Structure 1
Amino acid sequence: MTTLRAEAVTRVYEGRGEAVTAVADVSLDVAPGELVVVTGRSGAGKTTLLNVLGGLDRPTAGRVLLGDDDLSSLDDDALAAVRRDRVGYVFQSFGLIPVLSAAENVEVPLRLQRVPAEERDARVAEALELVGLAGHAAQRPYELSGGQQQRVGIARALAARPSVLLADEPTGQLDSGTAATVMGLITELVHAKGVGAVVTTHDANLVKRADRVVELHDGRVTRISAPAPTGR
């Protein structure tokens, strides 16, 4: 079974009379409960690939399938609905709304989905419990550490119960110890919840937690492999 599939995806940007190929002919399958880590130097195309996989950007060529739906064939409204209901995003910059509490930040996607209030409250509480922040629901982002803020971001992504989780350098602003904790949490939740996940990272230590590793160079996949067993 495949949750997410990229078929010969290419993304070309036009600018100042010159075409730049950010992603070139990338094919990739992600299964439920599988953690795929994408590595590569800055400028390798990791973020562009993630944006195309999540429907934040459209491929120039090829297609992306989420379940049976071809994202390339959807109009803007349908694509927005897919992003809202079926894809969870975790950002390097946390992406929290400063004036909202942790619980209110987690609740945002559920309000967009028009989930009834009683169910919203239950799902927010469940998500914060999952990431170990049940006791911090009322705190605002500035009252939380970087690691705690990122865990709120993970809770927000999971509260909507997506089939796919996409995380772009989710530990990039964290120290090594906190980064290991956050990545361990992502790994545990992906496997426990059966969510297909794609995570970009520069951190070789985090690569060891993956089920599969995709290496990008100049927008092309140069290798797909499993990490060494000693890293699991």
Structure 2
Amino acid sequence: MSTTTGERTAYPPPGGRPAVLRAEALHRTFGTGAGEVHALAGVSLDVPAGQLTVVRGPSGSGKTTLLNLLGGLDRPTGGRVLLDDGRVLSELPEKDVLAVRRERIGYVFQSFGLVPVLSAAENVEVPLRLRRVPVAERAERVARVLELVGLTRHAKQRPYELSGGQQQRVGIARALVGDPDILIADEPTGQLDSETAATIMDLLVALTHERDIASVVATHDPVLMSRADQVVELHDGRRVGRG
């Protein structure tokens, strides 16, 4: 059962597991030439470890805005995002937000976001270079995650030599190479055919449960929704119902 305090609706974590990431009454307003746009209005949710949270809703409902706030890529106009160590992510200095993003959060994008001139292994290695991980350790970790996503034989290929599904696997490997405990994916199967999308969905579900990751995925895919531990539905920037 949810409880309401003021304008915040507090949803207990599904399955009773503690939240790794918590959103409290998030608001995000954007100023435009035509006036203000209220992309999010009072959205609250808990994201537990080892569980897949799917965010669904029509285009313009606020899915990407919510993921950007949860991942520290944007800051809310109102409300806050909390980490399980007690820090308020949305109120940290930018250098600390960057550190959290490097050390705790992995991102998977619909557009893959790969560097065209780099090989699959080099793309996966980028986050480790930013963290100045030693060369030998980088090589070991890159090899491990490429094996995890089934791309060991494609390590030296560049993105244009890979299929869409393989490119997305590279994106997932890059998100995982830093051993994050939070994974955020925005429409990760949106550019894939249904068969390839199903494979990527299987991989995301398995990784979430096996590696005890708190995963938040925005998607329109009903198959992935059916496999979620929690479904958050947004309409016009507001959370509706209880998934």
Give the TM bin, normalised by the shorter chain: over 0.9
| AA at the equivalent of 1:170 | P
Q: Which of 209, 216, 227 is 2:227 aligned to?
A: 209
C-alpha distance in structure 2 between counterparts of 1:69 and 1:147, whole Å: 36
Show the counterpart of 2:124.
Answer: 106
> Secondary structure, in 3 states, of the residue corresponding to 1:52?
helix
Show the counterpart of 2:89.
Answer: 71
Show the counterpart of 1:51.
Answer: 68
C-alpha distance in structure 1 between counterparts of 2:34 and 2:200, whole Å: 42
Show the counterpart of 2:158.
Answer: 140
Show the counterpart of 1:12.
Answer: 29
Percent of aligned positions that are identical: 65
Q: Which of 135, 142, 150 is 1:124 aligned to?
A: 142
> Secondary structure, in 3 states, of the residue corresponding to 1:224?
coil
> Secondary structure, in 3 states, of the residue corresponding to 2:147?
helix
C-alpha distance in structure 1 between counterparts of 2:185 and 2:75, whole Å: 18
TM-score, normalised relative to structure 1: 0.95
Aligned partners of 1:103 and 1:128 also within 8 Å: yes
Show the counterpart of 1:228.
Answer: none
C-alpha distance in structure 2 between counterparts of 1:224 and 1:160, whole Å: 32
> Secondary structure, in 3 states, of the residue corresponding to 1:111?
helix
CA displacement 1:103-126 (0-9 Å, x = unmatched): 000000011111111111111011
CA displacement 1:27-61 (0-9 Å, x = unmatched): 11011111000000000000000000000000000
Show the counterpart of 2:6.
Answer: none
C-alpha distance in structure 1 between counterparts of 2:220 and 2:34, whole Å: 31
Deviation of the 1:224 alpha carbon: 2.5
C-alpha distance in structure 2 between counterparts of 1:191 and 1:72, whole Å: 27
C-alpha distance in structure 1 between counterparts of 2:241 and 2:143, whole Å: 40
| AA at the equivalent of 2:140 | A
Show the counterpart of 1:37.
Answer: 54
Deviation of the 1:77 alpha carbon: 1.1
C-alpha distance in structure 1 between counterparts of 2:165 and 2:34, whole Å: 43
Cα RMSD (Å): 0.9
Aligned partners of 1:171 and 1:179 also within 8 Å: yes
> Does residue 1:189 correspond to 2:207, yes or no?
yes
CA displacement 1:121-152 (0-9 Å, x = unmatched): 11101100110111110010001000000000
Show the counterpart of 2:8.
Answer: none
Deviation of the 1:66 alpha carbon: 2.0
Q: Which runs of 4+ in 1 moved over 2 A?
A: none
Aligned residues between the structures: 225
> Secondary structure, in 3 states, of the residue corresponding to 1:173?
coil
Deviation of the 1:17 alpha carbon: 5.4
TM-score, normalised relative to structure 2: 0.91
C-alpha distance in structure 2 between counterparts of 1:17 and 1:62, whole Å: 25
C-alpha distance in structure 2 between counterparts of 1:7 and 1:142, whole Å: 41
> Secondary structure, in 3 states, of the residue corresponding to 1:170?
coil
For structure 1, the residue ranges without an aligned partner over 5 or more in a row are 226-232
Describe how 1:153-164 pairs up with structure 2 within 5 A. Answer: 153-164=171-182
C-alpha distance in structure 2 between counterparts of 1:119 and 1:59, whole Å: 36
CA displacement 1:50-95 (0-9 Å, x = unmatched): 0000000000000001222211221111111111111100000000
Deviation of the 1:223 alpha carbon: 2.0
> Secondary structure, in 3 states, of the residue corresponding to 1:99?
coil
> Does residue 1:83 correspond to 2:101, yes or no?
yes
> Does residue 1:24 correspond to 2:41, yes or no?
yes
Aligned partners of 1:184 and 1:209 also within 8 Å: no
